[in-house]
Amino acid sequence: MTDVPEVLAEFIVSEIRLARGAAGMTQDVFGRAAGYTASHVSAVENGTRALTVDFIRGADRALNTGGLFRRLATRLGAPSWFLRWLDAERTATQLRYFEPILIPGLLQTEHYARTVLRADDSLTDGEVEQLTAARMDRQKALTGDRPPQLVAVLDEGALRRSGDSFSGIMAQQIAHLRTMTELPHVHVLIIPATSGLHIGLSGPFALARSSEGQWVGHLENQLGGEAVDKDEDVAKLQVMWESVRNEALPRSASVDLLKEVETYHGPQ
């Protein structure tokens, strides 16, 4: 498994070392529980061997943390502008996503997410793997005990994107979307190509509603993103949401279109 970014790795290694000491575990005992040799543990703690996501998982297992270090790596590895939205998304009772180009992160397969992230050639392989893992972790919210209601409106163009090495990934992704629509709290609605121009083509956005009834919006752009919670900004996004949702096909017709598009991409 690939490396964790250096600054974050130093922090997590120091916390693992402290937790190991507090538990009274030698490097040998810890290593056997984590699936590594004592020399490997020593090298990671001394900074002569890279910290990996697999080692973090082993540390959580050995120290019985319930996944604490993995969550730290995921959370602290996120860019600062994204943390406000992650909080809103994680605690939401309702989620609204509009995407004109890509499948929303909460509904992406691992292969699709990795392929999309690799399109940014400024990211290292390690960063791509870390971001992919973080995205997969976020999806656990949809299968928990009290999942939020998720409504995703997608433009048909996002479903028909293809290429010599991409059609198989897209076929798998569409099949995953159809599976997700079988969950009672997940709704995927498609704006057909025949709708032509609509307001949503200006860019993706999302909305999250807390248990207290407060809404937070999220906007993405080429330089990052922005969480918005001012009443006037959220109100504008709500108006845009109603507009794009009104352009979309009903739920059953959207599922039929998903089946058609899956055939378009060919067998998985």
pLDDT score for 192: 94
**Do residues 149 and 108 share a domain?**
yes
Q: Please report, for the domain that includes residue 219, its CATH number.
A: 3.30.870
pLDDT score for 2: 46
pLDDT score for 141: 87
Distance in angstroms (rounded) separating the CA atoms of residues 151 and 235 = 18
Number of domains into which the chain is organized: 2
Q: How much of the chain exceeds pLDDT 90, in percent?
A: 56
Last residue of a domain, one of 16, 42, 75: 75
pLDDT at 200 over 90: no
Lowest-pLDDT range of 97-101, 148-152, 228-232, 261-265: 261-265
∠ CA 203-208-210, rounded to 5°: 165
pLDDT tens-digit readout, 75-120: 666 665 676 788 788 889 999 999 999 999 999 999 999 999 998 8
Give bridge partners of residue 98 from the DSSP assignment: 153, 205
Lowest-pLDDT range of 5-9, 35-39, 176-180: 5-9
Instruction: Number of helices (H) and strands (E) in the chain: give both, helices first.
Output: 12, 6
1 assigned to some structural domain: no
**Do residues 129 and 248 share a domain?**
yes
Q: Which residues of 156-195 are buried (b: 16+ CB within 10 A; e: fewer)?
A: bebbeeeeeeebebbbbbbbbbeebbeeeebbbbbbeeeb
Q: Taking every pair of C-alpha atoms in the chain, what is the biggest distance, in angstroms?
A: 66
Phi, psi of 266 (to 5 degrees): 85, 180
pLDDT at 1 over 70: no
pLDDT tens-digit readout, 215-224: 999 998 766 6
pLDDT score for 54: 83
Distance in angstroms (rounded) separating the CA atoms of residues 9 and 56 = 10
pLDDT at 128 over 90: no
Chain-centre distance for alpha carbon 152: 14
pLDDT at 195 over 70: yes
**Do residues 213 and 100 share a domain?**
yes
52 assigned to some structural domain: yes
Q: Between 225 and 142, name the one with better pLDDT.
A: 142
pLDDT tens-digit readout, 26-85: 999 999 999 999 999 999 999 888 888 789 989 999 999 998 888 777 766 666 567 678
The residue range of the domain holding 43 is: 6-75
Look up residue 68 and give its DSSP letter.
H
